[in-house]
Amino acid sequence: MSEYLPGLAGVPATKSNISDIDGEKGILFYRGYPIEELAQHSSFEETTLLLLDGRLPTEQELQNFHQQLVANRTIKFHTRGMMKNLPPTGHPMEMLQTVVASLSMFYPGSECLTDDDACNDLNYIHNTTVKIIARIACIVAMWEHIRNGYDPVAPRDDLSYAENFLYMFTGKEPDPMLARIMDVCLILHAEHTINASTFAVLVNASTLANPYGVVAAAIGALSGPLHGGANQKVLQMLEEIGTPDKAEEYVDKRLANKEVIWGMGHREYSTKDPRATILQGLMDQFMEARGGDINPLFEVAKAVEVVCEDRLAKKGVYANVDFYSGLLYAEMGIPADQFTTIFAIARSAGWLAHWREQLADNRIFRPTQVYIGEPQRKYVTINKR
């Protein structure tokens, strides 16, 4: 194939049985299970095992996995010390990429990946996966305290993954409803076929790079505003609009100037992102539970979506997962610059499922190019130029 397709649009990069999308019908499956069913019935821990192993776990398997995650929540003091010396004004995604990449120095073992039978070392793959998933949430929560000049909050063994993250992040006992909303948010963001950050995983994994470096590369890809950073941009946009009555003028002006409406449109969906539908429903439940006492920007968001559907639906542009997630995080007291780190926490499950899948049938990525440069020419010495 010699045709160049910008962004590799529609070009298959791998074979996978982890997730699938029906963009026309707005359906997302994890291992064949619709995302709506997982969001309603599952937990992040269970969904993670589903993504990793390809099946729903038994009760004992899930309990064992939970205990493994709990046992790996503690972060070495060397890592904490390094975090305390990072600039507090740096973006949390820059911190996360730096710290995750450094973990390979504290938790060695990836030398087994250089062996011919590397793909068969399932114990190493599983144990490393547990270490990364368990610690990535703790690192994000610790940073919120460290960057503000305080010692981090220690993890608790009696809390679920989502509950412990909120506890470590806020230092307070998590509200059960907020903890459940966070759990669902993690499920919704855990996997989404071969997106930019997951492709980064495949490319790096194919070289047999250590898994901490693989995940760090994915974090770097996720940090961009055209990928995971969009939910922060959505909140900034809604704050700029201010009130629902200004939504129409704002959207029309942006469209006239050919500017992005953050949180609108997705390359894979020609209808509303099913994850956005679930998040909007959570926001409605949250508002009802609080008797309507909720961030007024939610009404601004709904007004923007109505205007965008009127202007953009005919082009197949609807709200995506980023449109409502930031609002929910803001209601939990999470600063906007930490939204994308939560995305990374959740997506670590999908990244590591793809890392494992790539190793099982590995071949290093080496795409080609379409050369558009100069033809062969002779070198001219500097005195004759």
CB 322 within 8 A of CB 262: yes
Distance CA 366, CA 361 (A): 15
Q: Which of 183, 192, 322, 354 is catalytic?
A: 322
Q: Which of 189, 266, 273, 354 is catalytic?
A: 266
Residue 126: closest CA among 75, 200, 187, 52? 52
CB 103 within 8 A of CB 215: no
Distance CA 58, CA 333 (A): 35
The tokens for 149 are 């000049």
**CB contact burial 97-113 (16+ within 10 A = b; e otherwise):** bebbbbbbeebeebeeb
The tokens for 48 are 């993670």
Residue 66: closest CA among 42, 41, 46? 46
Backbone angles phi, psi at 269, to 5 degrees: -120, 135
DSSP lists the bridge partners of residue 28 as: 21
Cβ-based neighbour number of residue 32 at 10 Å: 11
CA 215 to each of CA 149, 159, 271: distance values in angstroms, whole numbers, following the listed order:
27, 25, 30
The tokens for 294 are 């909720």
CB 307 within 8 A of CB 251: yes
Q: Clarify whether 22 is annotated catalytic.
A: no
Q: Which residues contact 322 (CB under 8 A, 6 or more apart)?
A: 230, 231, 233, 234, 262, 263
Active site amino acids: 266, 322
